[in-house]
Amino acid sequence: MVNSSIGRYLINELKPIFKKQYLREDLGAAIAVAFVAIPLSLAVALATGVSPQVALISAVVGGFLGAIFGGCRLGVTGPAVAMSVLLAGAIQDFGFAGLLVIGLVCGLLQIILGAFKLGRIAKYIPLSLVLAFTAGIGFLLFFEQLPQVFQIASQSKNNSIAQTIAQSNLYISHLGSTNVWLTILTVVILAVLPRYLPRAYSFFFAVLIPMSLVYMAKLNVSVVGNLPHDLLHPHIIDVEQITNWYKLFLTALEVFILASLETLLSTSAVDLMGKGDLHNPNQELIGQGIANIGVAMFGGIPVTGIVARSSVNVLAGAKTRRAAILHAFIILLVVFFIPQLIEAMPLAVLSGILIAASLKMMNIRQVIDLWKSDRLDVLVYLVTFLAIIGTDLIDGIQTGLLAAFIIVGIRMLRTKTEIKLWTNNNVLRVGLTGNISFLAYEKLATIKDYALSEKNIHFVIFEFAHLHNIDSNGAKHLIGIAQDLLDVNIKPIFHGMSNEQQSIISASTFENQPYMVTVTEYQIKDILELSGFSHSANDVLRHGITKYISHYAKDNQRLLNTLAKGQKPHTLLVACSDSRINPNAFLSSSIGEIFMVRNVGNVVPPYSPDNVYSEIAAIEYAISALEVRNIVICGHTECGAVKACVSSGDNKLGQMGLDNWLELIKLGFRKNRPHDACHGVEINLLHQVENLKSYPLVKELLAQKQLQISAWIYDVHSGHVLEWSVEQNRFMQMV
């Protein structure tokens, strides 16, 4: 399965790299990426604790194989700063041979994950967890680099904030060293220059300026040093030094998760920058797996898709995956023919690159945005971040996932209410949202206490329409609250329950039923009036406004702000005024999508320049000003207007306005007499379509085949919609 998938991929995706088209753009992008890849790879080597040539091997082999087999056309593969902390620990625990085994295991798992099309799993990882993970790595990386920056040889590799504070005097004494100031200079260049120059240039100058200062001032600083010229040679893995294979495989699993996550996040970012050049996540995992196996065989460290290099590739104008392939060859050429450029690079510059990367990985701005949108997610972030820096990466992720699941559970079980006391003070309406479970007792008890505190309340209406779920424990709580209210002569009404909700409520009700059940608003009206209380329609509307503002308007503020600047609906809908017809509900459409005209009998008056019907103005406005090119005329079964026309025939109803209006329907019946009201709905609907076609602008657009007109019938019994089929010459069910 993998071989056939890769074969199809090679045929479809690799053809463009053999064409001359875009060669100049790809070569320019490859050079720009190489400016970034070389110093970044050397910085990763420094952070990981391997020799520079190992990281360069990874950049060359990983960059080439990732470009050939990956699923992201403009992505670039190489050693990642985010992986350095984890890989450094692996080298300490298992030696370099263990690291190569980890690379092989990681690559194999990635191929398996991609082959089974599980690449979408990354979409389900909470953003707060990802941010905390990268921030935790950045935090650890920052403090692990401080001994290198300040050249404190006695400091251990796993430097922590506590150790830094304990030896603060030692750090202060080295503050004026050349190494420190070169590092600071590098960080400042990488922070400031991207505001004015492309990212590739910032890396170029971040290396060039400090190197020039070292050369001109003849400063005595540590540099990368001599590089061997035989980078690409298979490495024989000596596994005899590995003793704890169980821990090794756990570490390999950790590397696999981080490498895969980093890759998928990188390719998602490339999609955004590439404006729709969507990647194949499963193929990308297969490509990264092949790259990691190849890198391990040549003695390199595990690689991933890199946001920094990929973004430079996109912004530099790359058009095909040839740019990533060429960047790998450029690195190889530099190593073989002008290695002096790398060998003379100060280690302080590499430390500066790592410090700058670690600061960026803290994601401060994104955490602030997270705080503004959802503070519970910030709690997951903080728990994960503190667990990572307090323990290790694996324990931190486990703790973060546990926190995320707990918070998701709390959200799922949380009950929300909107309470509105009617102006007559006799009725309390309670809108239930969220879920009612064993956690809902306190919320429900608060409603009961409020109802008892108001002396004039005689009814409490619990609305179920927006309630997601209720379990048996929650049902028992709610029924218990209803019984307590009934005991003090306050009558509870459960309004708008779904079939499933009513089944759970009924199954949890024992002996007498302490509540009344209603489905429609007029049933509530009847109950109130039979008890001697008035029903306030305006109070019902006010309660609806309260729910709308607290839910829909609050959650869709961006949509409201966008629509406030102007509308551009995709459809003009002519529908009946019948209260049983809610087009936005049965069309599942949002505000701003449907330009609606409603009247008795879904009538389209025949066009005449002398007519003053508002429908004519609305139709012309929709077509000309709003440029709507789809029109639907929607009738419905059990239409009162059609029934009145069928039953009255040529007689009048005695109401001038209504009789004049219904005459527009009867005109169609005189041409084609209906058998009954159901047949009348169909005849009326087709007659209104013919009326619509009499409009000059409609005629013109139909002749140009730029306008579509549909005739639908909404069935008030089932909710199904029927559509007129010209081919079948009848109305047919749409779904």
Residues 6+ apart with CB under 8 A from 698: 619, 623, 631, 692, 707, 709
Query: How many angstroms separate the CA atoms of 279 and 287, rounded?
Result: 12
Global pTM reads: 0.59
Model confidence band, residue 531 (pLDDT cutoffs 50, 70, 90): very high
Half-sphere exposure of 210 (CA within 13 A, CB side): 33
Q: What is the pLDDT of residue 517?
A: 95
Q: What is the pLDDT of residue 36?
A: 86
Which one of 368-377, 404-413, 486-495, 604-613 scores highest in mean pLDDT? 486-495
Give the residue-averaged pLDDT of 291-315.
Answer: 88
Q: Tokens standing for 417? A: 């209410």
Cβ(505)–Cβ(481) below 8 Å: no
Query: How many angstroms separate the CA atoms of 349 and 610, rounded?
Result: 82
Length of the chain: 735
The pLDDT tens digits of the residues spanning 311-341 come to 788 877 888 889 999 999 999 999 888 888 8
Q: Which of 162-166, 422-426, 533-537 has the lowest mean pLDDT?
A: 162-166
3-state secondary structure of 691: helix
What are the φ/ψ torsions at residue 479 (nearest 5 degrees)? -65, -40
User: What are the Cα distances from residue 375, in Å, to 354, 371, 378, 409?
Assistant: 30, 5, 5, 16
What are the φ/ψ torsions at residue 320 (nearest 5 degrees)? -135, 175
Query: How many angstroms separate the CA atoms of 255 and 48, rounded?
Result: 13
Which one of 191-195, 435-439, 596-600 scores highest in mean pLDDT? 596-600
Q: What is the pLDDT of residue 1?
A: 46
Cβ(590)–Cβ(665) below 8 Å: no
3-state secondary structure of 419: strand
Q: What is the pLDDT of residue 151?
A: 80
Q: Tokens standing for 529? A: 């009036």
Q: Which amino acid is at 516?
A: M
Domain 566-733: which CATH class? alpha beta
Q: What is the pLDDT of residue 153?
A: 61
Q: Which of 70-79, 405-414, 626-635 has the lowest mean pLDDT?
A: 405-414
Q: What is the pLDDT of residue 487?
A: 93
Query: How many angstroms separate the CA atoms of 378 and 649, rounded?
Result: 68
Other Cβ atoms within 10 Å of 509 Cβ, number: 16
Cβ(2)–Cβ(286) below 8 Å: yes
3-state secondary structure of 433: strand
Half-sphere exposure of 31 (CA within 13 A, CB side): 6
Query: How many angstroms separate the CA atoms of 257 and 261, rounded?
Result: 6
Instruction: Find residue 632's DSSP bridge partners.
Output: 573, 710
Rounded to the nearest angstrom, the gap between the alpha carbon of residue 636 and the centroid of all alpha carbons in its chain is: 38
Write down the mean pLDDT value for the chain: 86
Residue 9 has pLDDT above 80, yes or no: no
Q: What is the pLDDT of residue 378?
A: 81
Give the residue-averaged pLDDT of 142-170.
Answer: 74
The residue written with tokens 């190992």 in the block is: 54
Query: How many angstroms separate the CA atoms of 461 and 535, rounded?
Result: 12
Query: How many angstroms separate the CA atoms of 302 and 256, rounded?
Result: 9
Per cent of the chain over pLDDT 70 is 90
Residue 546 has pLDDT above 60, yes or no: yes
Query: How many angstroms separate the CA atoms of 329 and 229, rounded?
Result: 14
Q: What is the pLDDT of residue 254?
A: 84
Q: Which residue has the higher pLDDT, 539 or 416?
A: 539
The pLDDT tens digits of the residues spanning 441-487 come to 888 889 999 999 988 999 999 999 888 889 888 899 899 999 999 99
Half-sphere exposure of 681 (CA within 13 A, CB side): 23
Give the chain's radius of gyration (CA, Å): 35
Q: CATH classification of 414-548, choosing from 3.30.750.24, 2.120.10.90, 3.40.190.10, 3.40.50.620?
A: 3.30.750.24
Instruction: List where CATH 3.40.1050.10 sits in the chain.
Output: 566-733
Q: What is the pLDDT of residue 128?
A: 75
Q: What is the pLDDT of residue 155?
A: 47
Query: How many angstroms separate the CA atoms of 131 and 141, rounded?
Result: 15
Between the two ends of the chain, the Cα-to-Cα distance in Å is: 36
Model confidence band, residue 622 (pLDDT cutoffs 50, 70, 90): very high
Model confidence band, residue 276 (pLDDT cutoffs 50, 70, 90): very low
Residue 309 has pLDDT above 90, yes or no: no
Cβ(325)–Cβ(73) below 8 Å: no
Q: Tokens standing for 296? A: 């391990």
Model confidence band, residue 268 (pLDDT cutoffs 50, 70, 90): low
Residue 3 has pLDDT above 60, yes or no: no
Q: What is the pLDDT of residue 551?
A: 77
Model confidence band, residue 60 (pLDDT cutoffs 50, 70, 90): very high
Residue 273 has pLDDT above 80, yes or no: no
Q: What is the DSSP string of 695-715?
A: SHHHHHHHHTT--EEEEEEE-
Query: How many angstroms separate the CA atoms of 276 and 279, rounded?
Result: 9
Q: What is the DSSP string of 613-681?
A: -HHHHHHHIIIIIS---EEEEEEETT-HHHHHHHHHTT---S-HHHHHHHHHHHHHHHHS--SSHHHHH
The residue written with tokens 């990929």 in the block is: 310
Residue 31 has pLDDT above 50, yes or no: yes
Residue 7 has pLDDT above 70, yes or no: no
Cβ(633)–Cβ(651) below 8 Å: no
* Type and span of the H or E element at 250: helix 245-273
The pLDDT tens digits of the residues spanning 643-663 come to 999 998 888 888 989 999 999
Instruction: List where CATH 3.30.750.24 sits in the chain.
Output: 414-548
Q: What is the pLDDT of residue 599?
A: 96
The pLDDT tens digits of the residues spanning 341-394 come to 888 889 888 888 888 888 887 878 878 877 876 677 788 788 888 887 777 666
Rounded to the nearest angstrom, the gap between the alpha carbon of residue 712 and the centroid of all alpha carbons in its chain is: 35
Q: Which residue has the higher pLDDT, 157 or 662?
A: 662
Which one of 332-341, 389-398, 519-528, 533-542 scores highest in mean pLDDT? 519-528
Residue 105 has pLDDT above 50, yes or no: yes
